A = this chain, B = another copy of it.
């Protein structure tokens, strides 16, 4: 550990290159959800492999799956030292609606000291900090522990093939802690660590009325209109208190204690600023819970997309044959995505009138998870922030889903630390996604410090 202080000089002398490399990665449209980007996803995997090798990671391999490959690599300096497994994903969300981007999603552009590009924060910008943190420690000859990398390409579509990979490679993936940067902090003034993630159950529904589009004058009011029916069913998925009406939906939801709710209420949150930032007159959610609770500890249901009938210019008097919707639910402990998938399907079908046929199919799911805040790893993270930011991170519950955290827990029997450096304004999954350049550099430094403190604490 003699020369770990050198890392600052190294960072300074290479920071421009670090950013150039990230830009190169951001230019690859590795959209995992859309098959027309398959080649680009592959290119992104190749890029990750080459950069891991350049950083000094060993045994780097591209592990093919049934869809998009997983990039694995490791450097074991001393088997007696603790081991960190870094997880991240090089795939990104679709970029549309494209017309809302101020600069092209796959041409990274710097504005207000922020990198604007799809994936800049989620998760290319964040996992790449780990690659550069490793390079720095390795180059300075001060790597204090063993490090393994597992960077996948299917996180945005549910990590369908990661489970089997993890099961088959459990020994290779063995570690003392899994380190993930794929979440956000409250603010630069209030660094935080995500201690809880929601699960996900993502469904697609198709409602078919008459077998062909009809003239809305000749048939309107006499046969079921699939769009009206779909709207009716979706409306009935929540009651007037915005509670989800699916029978059994809340059965396994862990209700938090008053104490826990008090702690959550202590996290800095300004409702007026929140509404202002979204340009909404008021918030809307489950009665009896605060906004922070609704996003953090309560399960939710949202329509992510809906379409049917004539959506072109002007007016067409058609009674459509079909209507579709993508509907997802965010789950909390101890809900199970498989159970909710069945409850949703049964209920949705039960709400359909005789005049229509409905098809309900799952896209992907993931389990909710809560990470311990009393572990040695969390202690190391606190120390890292204390040294790098001058304050301890606040543990928070995030509404996002990283299904694989629960998977690691189950299969690898290893806990994760969600050390994310994103900010709310990064607008992940939205047009004009961005990531602060300071977050990128400060993240690299904090990750380096985590390695240092984790190795120290584990040695004791």
Contact = CB atoms under 8 A, between A and B. Distances in A.
A312 B424 CA distance: 25
Interface string A250-293: 00000000000000000000000000001111111110000100
A213 interface: yes
A21 to B, nearest CB: 26
Interface string A392-427: 000000111100000000000000000000001001
B429 A214 contact: yes
A434 to B, nearest CB: 12
Contact of A302 (B220, B326, B357, B432): B220
Contacts of A300: 216, 220-222
A9 interface: no
A215 B428 contact: yes
A390 interface: no
A218 interface: yes
A16 interface: no
Interface string A336-367: 00000000000000000111110000011000
Interface residues of A, number: 102
A227 interface: yes
B309 A303 contact: yes
A215 B328 CA distance: 12
A452 interface: no
A100 interface: yes
Interface string A119-157: 000000000000000000000000000000000000001
Contacts of A311: 305-307, 324, 326
A186 interface: no
A6 interface: no
A63 interface: no
A309 B305 contact: yes
Interface in A223-238: 223-225, 227-228, 230-232, 234-236, 238
Interface in A203-217: 204, 209-217
A211 B278 contact: yes
B94 A316 contact: yes
Contacts of A39: none
Nearest to A225: B302
A253 B353 CA distance: 27
A211 B33 CA distance: 25
Given A231-B231, A317-B328, A303 B354 contact: no
12 contacts: A33-B313, A213-B431, A215-B400, A216-B328, A217-B295, A220-B328, A221-B285, A221-B330, A234-B235, A284-B354, A309-B326, A318-B429
Given A211-B280, A231-B234, 20 more contacts: A32-B314, A94-B314, A158-B315, A216-B302, A216-B304, A217-B401, A222-B300, A224-B284, A228-B238, A231-B303, A235-B236, A281-B354, A282-B353, A302-B319, A304-B310, A304-B320, A307-B307, A307-B311, A311-B324, A315-B328
